[in-house]
Amino acid sequence: MKQKSGFFKALGIMLLSVLFATQANAQNITVTGTVTDNLGPVIGASIQVEGTSNGCITDIDGNYSLPNVPSNATLVFSYIGYQTQKIAVSGQTKINVKLAEDSQLLQEVVVVGYGVQRKSDLTGAVASVKAADALKGTPSGNVSDALQGRMAGVSVLSGSGDPSKDNTIRVRGINSITAETGPLVVIDGFIGGSLKALNPSDIASIEVLKDASATAVYGSRGANGVILVTTKNPEKDKLTVSFNAFANFKTVAKYPDVLSPYEYAKLANEYGKEYFESQNKPAKTYYNEEQLQAFKNGTAGYDYVKNMFRDPAFTQNYEMSISGGGEKTTFLASLRYENNEGIIEGSENSVYSWRLKVDTKIKKWLKAGMNIYGYYLLAELI
């Protein structure tokens, strides 16, 4: 009887397990549907289960199919230029959505070569990043670091271990016949600036002009794209003092794969044996057993690779600014200090940058202003 009782208990547990597994699987469903707007299907719209990484995009006909969706989940439908919609699944397997244009987004203005335009009127290929979205969330004193991964067609490369060198920026790849492949930098309307000289806290927005129609006003100098930087303006009747500080560190992603002192010594002895015996000469031993054992134990030898790198390498950055003014005159002054240790021992640089901007209203029809910025780079190289 005891054996039969144990058998029925095991059978009951198995049936309950199957029941719970079936119920758990039944809670996840596949949701399909179509995403449209006033003109028809929306291609490439994003559909995602809220709070998870499970998502998909619509095809050329605006259709989508999203598996493994909990029946009580919420789907988030989004597309650039349209209002984001959230819809509760509530067990539905087919959900069609019609997206509405985001009029507020289309009314935003972006800086172009000859002034500003609303996004709804923009015909050229222009990518825009607001300082509040990118620069404040990037712990780096280099403005170009904040552009990484934030603009389509814009790549930022750090191909040198020299901390005094700026990053390499490419707009839609390399397409130059004059060996100059970097984009033209324009700061507050003045051509020929350096992003490294700017204090990230002073920047209001960054626009990248990418195609011929957007860069036409700059002629051949804009062949590799144009980066337009707009700095902040001081506010009237408001005194603002700010101080920012941060620190970070860099590490070596992968050390070069080289022989250890012990491996090199063994290889040298093998060479001495094979080579001299092939010449009918006595084998030559470059390292004796005592030296080999010292290399193996780590009491002798020198690791040139690991001692060549500084790991970790620290960076510290300090920024301070003050702005204010009255009805007629406003001002903004800022200072920045950055110390950047290179990943290679003996490489280090310090950057001192400053900026002063003054605007004054002399008459109703006459305004005058001054915008000065500069930086001093002290580099220590091997």
What are the extents of the domains in the chain?
2-102, 105-231, 261-308
Largest CA distance in the chain: 107
Q: 57-97: per-residue pLDDT in tens?
A: 999 899 999 999 998 999 999 887 788 899 999 989 999 99
Q: Is the dihedral of CA 116, 117, 119, 125 positive or negative?
A: negative
Q: Is-same-fold flag (2-102; 105-231)?
A: no
Pairing of strands 85-88, 190-191: unpaired
CB-CB contact of 334 with 202 (8 Å): yes
Residues 6+ apart with CB under 8 A from 19: none
What is the C-alpha separation between 213 and 123, in angstroms, rounded?
Answer: 8
Amino acid 131: pLDDT: 58
333 forms beta bridges with: 322, 356
The alpha-carbon radius of gyration of the chain (Å, integer) is: 32
What is the C-alpha separation between 334 and 332, in angstroms, rounded?
Answer: 7
**φ, ψ of residue 331 in degrees (nearest 5):** -145, 160
Q: 290-311: per-residue pLDDT in tens?
A: 888 888 888 888 878 878 888 8
User: Residue 149: what residue type?
Assistant: G
The model's pTM is: 0.56
Which residue has tokens 């003109």? 39
CATH fold for the domain made of 105-231? Ferric Hydroxamate Uptake Protein; Chain A, domain 1 (2.170.130)
The model's confidence at residue 40, banded by pLDDT at 50, 70 and 90, is: confident
Q: 167-225: per-residue pLDDT in tens?
A: 777 776 665 555 567 788 888 878 877 777 788 788 887 878 777 766 667 777 777 78
What is the C-alpha separation between 28 and 31, in angstroms, rounded?
Answer: 10
> Does the domain at residues 2-102 carry the CATH identifier 3.40.50.2000?
no
Amino acid 172: pLDDT: 66
Share of the chain above pLDDT 90, in %: 15
Residues 6+ apart with CB under 8 A from 149: none
- Which is more confidently placed, 381 or 207? 207
